[in-house]
Amino acid sequence: MKSRFVTGTLVFMLVFGMTLAASAEVTLRHWDWHQPRMNIKLKYMAEYEALNPNVTFDTQVIGWDDYWTRLMSGVAGGDVPDIAQFHNSQTQAFLNHLEAFPADVFDYDRYKEEIINFEAAYLFDGTFHFYPVGIMSGLIFYNADYWEAAGLTEADIPKTWDDFVEIAKLLTKYDSAGDIQVAGFVPNGILGVFWLDLHYQLGGTLYGEGAKTVAWNNPAGIQALELIESMIFEDRVSEVGFLGFNEAMGTGHAGMAYSWSWLGGELDNNYPDLNWGVFRLPTFDGKLAPGPVARNNHETGMSVMRSVRQENKDAAFEFLRWLYEDTDYLIEVNLVLGTAPSNRTLLDDPRIAASPLISAIAEQVPYTNIPGEIPHEVENDYGLGMLQDLLFFGYPAADALATAEAEANSVLMERAVKWYVEDLYTPVTD
């Protein structure tokens, strides 16, 4: 039986249904880049068409890179879908081309209460333009077979980084020449992103005041990077030049690895025989509160394009209300995306609790923060992405952070961050 959020009266639903029945026939065009998500949508679209014969859907899946080029070209040329799947990395580029969700149809007050980071991650000038669906963060993946062979059980899942390092040393395997064959923990390929979570745990932030600069070269940043440095060069649970985190996990060369939750889907798809598990990040004191213990990001839902005809906008929002009030849809789509529901009321759903990956995210995300926009160069090329190379080249932690910070700040001088919400985090009390 379908379950829906109870937000309106039966009278409203009857009026809502009669409004649909009385409206003119409309075809809603919809684009997405992710076929598994589209497959779920198609099932619900077929149900909606059966309930509302005046509405039909015309859908198209377009690859990620082409998707945004085509959408922007469509904006310029007046040929856009009525409903576009959105991603918040494109907020600055597309926000002015998205229609605000109408407050008389969507319950803003309830969303502020129920949806994690709703005001920080979704509200712009008091309105939101893409629906909150899921949320993800960094986790620890582990090889369950190696874990068992080492005599470890679920009771041994570490809560502190000190305990984590001891388990990583236990899982590390060397050959006769002393070279690592199985790394106890692999941050390789994602080291800067991992460092940022440690930095948050120690009271640091991504940005300085107003996001005009980054704020990395400080005691918290140095302590966080020195922990990674000691794991690699002193404890030797990984090494310079080792496989990246995803390949190392997939091919059985990692006991543990750090990754965001999307890795679960990659492991299942590309390494179906791998027996893996996952747990939330340890912390320096073993506690989650008050947080933040990591960065998060949101898997957003669909948006309605501002330039489409008004009758299409109205029909699109009517459909989106119907779809997003369906908790079955929200559970299904989060499970396929490897994300925890953004709505707190769904975190205890038995289907979420039955997924080790999603339940690990669900445990952690209330204690995570979203900084807002992160320019690609700051996250990947000239900022966080530099920390691994600098550390591997032998730079001391403070020098590595100073160099990466200077490069990131040069990017911010050229490309100012407009969506900045990092300082809106409210500490959690248990």
Count of beta carbons in the 10 Å neighbourhood of residue 148: 12
**pLDDT category of residue 103 using cuts at 50, 70 and 90:** very high
Q: What is the structure's pLDDT at 10?
A: 38
Residue-wise pLDDT for 110-125, tens only, equals 999 999 889 989 999 9
Residue-wise pLDDT for 140-153, tens only, equals 999 999 999 999 99
Q: What is the structure's pLDDT at 124?
A: 92
Q: Comparing 10-134+297-362 with 137-296+367-424, is the CATH topology the same?
A: yes
Per the prediction, the chain carries an average pLDDT of: 92
Residue 88 DSSP one-character state = G
311 phi/psi in degrees, rounded to 5: -65, -30
Least confidently predicted of 238-247, 301-310, 413-422: 413-422
List the structure tokens of 21: 């029945």
16 against 301, higher pLDDT: 301
- Return the residue matching tokens 């598990």: 277
Question: Cβ(71)–Cβ(80) under 8 Å?
Answer: yes
List the structure tokens of 274: 């791998």
State the CATH architecture for 137-296+367-424. Answer: 3-Layer(aba) Sandwich (3.40)
415 against 11, higher pLDDT: 415
Task: Go through 110-122 and write b for each residue having 16 or more CB atoms within 10 A of its CB, e for each that does not.
Answer: ebeebbbbbebbb
Is the whole-model pTM more than 0.85?
Answer: no
204 against 362, higher pLDDT: 204
Rounding to the nearest 10 degrees, give the CA dihedral for residues 275, 233, 173, 389.
Answer: 50
Domain borders along the chain are 10-134+297-362, 137-296+367-424
Q: Is the pLDDT of residue 430 over 80?
A: no
What is the secondary structure of 213-242 as a DSSP string?
A: SB--SSHHHHHHHHHHHHHHHTS-SS-TTP
Q: Which CATH code, of 3.30.70.260, 3.40.190.10, 3.40.50.10490, 3.90.470.20, is assigned to 10-134+297-362?
A: 3.40.190.10
Q: What is the structure's pLDDT at 12?
A: 42
First-to-final CA distance of the chain: 34
Q: What is the structure's pLDDT at 6?
A: 52
**pLDDT category of residue 341 using cuts at 50, 70 and 90:** very high
Q: What is the mean pLDDT of residues 209-236?
A: 97
Q: Is the pLDDT of residue 20 over 50?
A: no
Rounding to the nearest 10 degrees, give the CA dihedral for residues 154, 370, 289, 107.
Answer: -100
Q: Is the pLDDT of residue 191 over 80?
A: yes
Question: Cβ(200)–Cβ(293) under 8 Å?
Answer: yes
265 against 58, higher pLDDT: 58
Residue-wise pLDDT for 52-98, tens only, equals 999 999 999 999 989 999 999 999 999 999 999 999 888 888 999 99
Q: What is the structure's pLDDT at 177?
A: 93
